[in-house]
Amino acid sequence: MNAYLIALKAIIGREAFRFVSQRGRFIAALVRPLLWLVVFAAGFRAALGLSITPPYATYITYEVYIVPGLCGMILLFNGMQSSLSLVYDREMGSMRLLLTSPLPRWWLLFCRLLASTSISVLQVYVFLAITALYGIRFAWYGYIALLPALLVAGVMLGALGLALSSAIKQLENFAGVMNFVIFPMFFLSTALYPLWKMAESSELLHDICAFNPFSHSVELIRFALYGQFNGFALIWTGLAGLIWVALALWGYDPARGLVRRSGK
Amino acid sequence: MISPSSHLARLLSLPLFLGLASPALAAEIWVTNEKDDTVSVIDIDTLEVIRTIETGERPRGITFSKDFSRVYICASDSDTVQVMDPETGKILHDLPSGEDPEQFVLHPNDRHLYIANEDDAVTTVVDTETRTVAAQINVGIEPEGMAVSPDGKIAITTSETTNMAHWIDTETRKLFANTLVDARPRHAEFTAQGSELWVSSEIGGTITVFNTADQTEKGKITFEVKGVHPDRVQPVGFEFTEDEKTAFVALGPSNHIAVVNAETLAVEDYILVGRRVWHMAFSPDKSLLFTTNGVSGDVTVIDVAKRDAIKSIKVGRFPWGAAMRP
């Protein structure tokens, strides 16, 4: 077998094994968005539905609106979780072992990215199966169209995790990532409220949300769930993904990157 | 601003829409806009407004003649019922309706209009051929809902303040019964066989079902929309499906349509529509239902089989009445 494929198989296999052996992590990843859906969204059930914006053709409840944002939440938290495990790997020394492989570093990191994204995608589909039981269903073609959108968004957020992991010196610093990356990215996006709602409270808030790449990955998912394609969201998500990948490659480059400077 | 560059769904859903709409080629839904003094005409195939026609002041009730060659419009603030040619959109003439006509119903003889005159506490019977008032019948205060039994023998007026359904013998044009309903009755309909009369009470939040034969109460329907305060659940207009097994009930400011099992009188579903839903009209094959949403100024299209809102179409300000033209 080609050495590249051996590496891909080994890395995905390791991630899959980790995923299977950490059922608590899988359940936790599902409980978080489900709590948002059942507890938070239920309270605002009738609060939305005052304006119709694409991809919606008619009025929707808040619970329906929030589902694509919660899919994005799973990808975002998993991307960061992956970043956390990278830092752990580095502290344990297994990252050093991985990076000593003669294969190009970008390939190794890409394999890692693909492995974590695949697991995130699986979790999103499980989440959507539960929401369908809860009564929020989409057309069959929406679930199919969703897959490429999830892969693009998942890779973008995973790449962000990779870039961050190259900058984090110790596992303890991960709390900072939660406060300064995950929460702002999630709350300052269209995951919870549409842009027009944000504009009602503040133009600045609206502009930040419109700039936030996470908003665009959520919109990519939202449109895909209705079988529609949002080209602008794809470009924005792709562009952000490229920037994070470039940063991650630079961060993991032993000659220049942050890994060297951090002494790991 | 996040915006889509193309719509894959349009392609994917086109056959679906065509499939739904194909039996009703070129059919239209006419919607009165009470704030704009216009009628919006929606093409059932494209689900878009294709014409906007000016009317008298505050148009509300709307109905077509049997052959659909004329459309009658209650121009409430003009104190008249206007007769329009639906082809040209021109007003042919006005009918003497009495003051503030709000709702009316065309007798099965296609000749007599029974009009509720809200400010006068009377029901006016207008002969559309001679264009004269054939009779005025005293009813309760603020008459509103109007219905005529399928055999044409009974007319019903509901009075908002008296909280009654008034039963009128259409031959003698006299009241022969009055039945109490809950607060502010707004709309009345007979079932197609005429064995039952349904009356919605806006403030009471109920629909009372009567046996036509003896005017006794058969049952009462109550509504409860998840996450909506009971005060906002105000039943107004409603329509029956072809098989009469299901009724769709507009619940006013709760912004929902209730789906009621007409046999058990149990509410089976609620469908989210626009704000302050008033009345509704079916497509000719009754596969689509169009609801007028007063405050949001649009019409929501419901897929009757799926019990799902599929689209909301912007019309004029404060849409109120709706009627189908095949």
Alpha-carbon distance B221 to B199, whole Å? 10
Q: What is the pLDDT of residues B111-128, one digit of tens each?
A: 999 998 887 888 999 999
For residue B200, the distance in angstroms to the closest alpha carbon of chain A comes to: 24
Per-residue pLDDT of chain A in tens (264 residues, 90 and over written 9):
587 788 788 888 887 777 777 777 778 778 888 888 888 777 676 555 556 788 888 888 888 889 999 999 999 988 887 777 777 777 777 767 777 777 777 787 788 888 888 888 988 999 999 999 988 899 999 999 999 999 999 999 988 888 887 777 666 676 777 778 888 889 999 988 888 878 877 889 899 999 999 999 999 999 999 999 999 999 999 999 999 888 888 877 666 655 544 444
Confidence category of residue B27, pLDDT binned at 50, 70, 90: very high
Residues in CB range of A101: below 8 A, 6 or more apart: A7, A108
Alpha-carbon distance A94 to A96, whole Å? 5
CB of A69 within 8 A of CB of A44?
no
Alpha-carbon distance B154 to B197, whole Å? 11
Q: What confidence score (pLDDT) does residue A140 get?
A: 93
Q: What confidence score (pLDDT) does residue B280 get?
A: 96
Q: What confidence score (pLDDT) does residue B228 get?
A: 85
The domain total for chain B is 1
Q: Find chain B residues with C-beta within 8 A of A54's C-beta.
A: 3-4
Q: Find chain B residues with C-beta within 8 A of A52's C-beta.
A: 312
Peptide bond into B4 cis (omega under 30): no
**Would B19 be classed as within a structural domain?**
no
| Among B262, B237, B240, residue whose Cα is nearest residue B250 | B237
Q: Given the structure tokens 């961050």, which residue do they identify? A: A164
Q: What confidence score (pLDDT) does residue B20 get?
A: 44
- Determine the distance from the C-alpha atom of residue B157 to the mean position of all C-alpha atoms in its chain, rounded to a whole number: 14
**Would B14 be classed as within a structural domain?**
no
The reply to whether residue A229 touches residue B7, judged by beta carbons under 8 angstroms, is yes
Q: Calculate mean pLDDT across residues B75-80.
A: 89
Two tokens at A28? 């936790």
The reply to whether residue A50 touches residue B296, judged by beta carbons under 8 angstroms, is yes
**Would B290 be classed as within a structural domain?**
yes
**Would B2 be classed as within a structural domain?**
no
Q: Residue A101 gets which letter from DSSP?
A: S
Residue, of B320 and A11, whose pLDDT is higher: B320
Q: What is the pLDDT of residues B151-172, one digit of tens each?
A: 999 999 999 899 999 999 999 9
Domain that holds residue B59: 25-325
**DSSP string computed for B17-61:** HHHHHGGGTT-EEEEEETTTTEEEEEETTTTEEEEEEE-SSSEEE
The reply to whether residue A59 touches residue B300, judged by beta carbons under 8 angstroms, is yes
Q: What confidence score (pLDDT) does residue B11 get?
A: 40
Question: Which range is least confidently modeled, A184-198, B200-214, B277-291?
Answer: A184-198
Two tokens at B24? 């009703």
Q: Calculate mean pLDDT across residues B97-103.
A: 81
Q: Calculate mean pLDDT across residues B13-37.
A: 67
Confidence category of residue B91, pLDDT binned at 50, 70, 90: very high
Q: What confidence score (pLDDT) does residue A196 get?
A: 82
Q: What is the pLDDT of residues B60-69, one digit of tens each?
A: 999 999 999 9
* Residue B277 pLDDT exceeds 50: yes
For residue B259, the distance in angstroms to the closest alpha carbon of chain A comes to: 17
The reply to whether residue A58 touches residue B7, judged by beta carbons under 8 angstroms, is no
CB of B40 within 8 A of CB of B47?
no
CATH at residue B135:
2.130.10.10
Alpha-carbon distance A167 to A87, whole Å? 9
* Residue B289 pLDDT exceeds 60: yes
**Would B20 be classed as within a structural domain?**
no
* Residue B293 pLDDT exceeds 60: yes
Q: Report chain B's mean pLDDT, rounded to a whole number.
A: 89
Q: What confidence score (pLDDT) does residue A47 get?
A: 55
Q: What confidence score (pLDDT) does residue B31 get?
A: 97
Q: Find chain B residues with C-beta within 8 A of A216's C-beta.
A: 2
Q: What confidence score (pLDDT) does residue B167 get?
A: 96
Q: Which residue of B has its CA nearest to A45?
A: B227
Q: Find chain B residues with C-beta within 8 A of A215's C-beta.
A: 2
Q: What confidence score (pLDDT) does residue B10 get?
A: 41
Q: Give the start-to-end residue ranges of the domains of chain A.
A: 3-261
Q: Given the structure tokens 């659940």, which residue do they identify? A: B233
Alpha-carbon distance B33 to B40, whole Å? 7
Q: What is the pLDDT of residues B261-272, one digit of tens each?
A: 999 999 999 999
Q: Calculate mean pLDDT across residues B293-306.
A: 94
Q: What confidence score (pLDDT) does residue B102 get?
A: 83
* Residue B240 pLDDT exceeds 60: yes
